[in-house]
Amino acid sequence: MSHNIPQTSLGKFAREYLEYLEIERGRSIKTIENYEHYITRFLVATGAKEPKDIDDELMRTFRLWLNRQKAGVRDGRQETLKKKTQNYYLIAIRSFLKYLRKRGVESYAPERIELAKVAERTIDLLTPQDLRRLLDAPSGDGVKELRDKAILELFFSTGLRLSELCALSRDIDITRDEISVRGKGEKVRVVFISDDAKKAITAYLKKRTDMDDALFVSEGKKARVDGSFRLSPRSIERMVKFYAVKAGIMDKVTPHILRHSFATDLLYNGADIRSVQMMLGHSNISTTQIYTHITDSELRNVHKKFHNR
């Protein structure tokens, strides 16, 4: 990593910052790679070599450059970077500047960088009927069908991220109602398994004949480079899509949409936002609060239905 960062004074600080994120802050390799990409493009695009080179004019020029970057063609039109993507760059730069301040290095004030206004985030959800059809879509007692049933039930039961589910090992104690998972930032949290999920996992593991340590493995394929048959995130995404089509669901369905369904199901049934935050593994409650917009909308529908004079 960090081999593309310019060999300048500012570049040296950037490399030290990335090492700080990895060692002292415990950020994931993926997060560090993303921050390296954003900061490198900033340094290359602006030509800034010293911390003092960063000023209002340089930031204004960079934001104009960022706003004009091409991001592919859609419906015959050339699109530029979305405001949300531009904000990823700005957040990384702001964090880097805070690191410089912590080191006592004089540079641009991070609080002067304001994020671009973005449209309110929307969340795709499955209707209860579609969700039921999806969970019931894997039929049969073959090891593949039992595996896929267990994966879908576990997604909805726990709200796990795709990467978290892929990383599970078969030595989990499914006789209990809970398991510990390691999420973003290496943070460990407890998630809870429904009776349906426990039943599905038990049936799948009884059918397995291999000795692989992974909880979910591919069937009839060669082992990966590391010798494991562990299912990849892409394989699970394709599996979820396959059963969505089989269930006759027209809308796009992904593992993350199942995570959304898990969260909104809790809120609909009276769970408080703090508890949902803990179960999803969100470090900031503002990330969880997006779901309250959905439940607020549902409450409006209930009000109209039962309070109509």
Catalytically active residues are 161, 184, 256, 259, 282, 291
Q: Calculate the alpha carbon distances from 13 to 41, 43, 57, 109 in Å.
A: 15, 12, 21, 16
141 and 149 Cβ atoms separated by less than 8 Å: no
Per the listing, tokens 């989990």 go with: 172
Alpha-carbon span 294 to 290, nearest angstrom: 8
Positive or negative, the CA dihedral 174, 177, 182, 188 is: negative
* Residue whose C-alpha is closest to residue 127's, from 135, 119, 117: 135
Single out the residue of 294, 246, 237 nearest to residue 268, CA to CA. Answer: 294
* Apex 225 CA angle, 224 and 231, nearest 5: 25
Calpha distance 111→88 (Å, rounded): 15
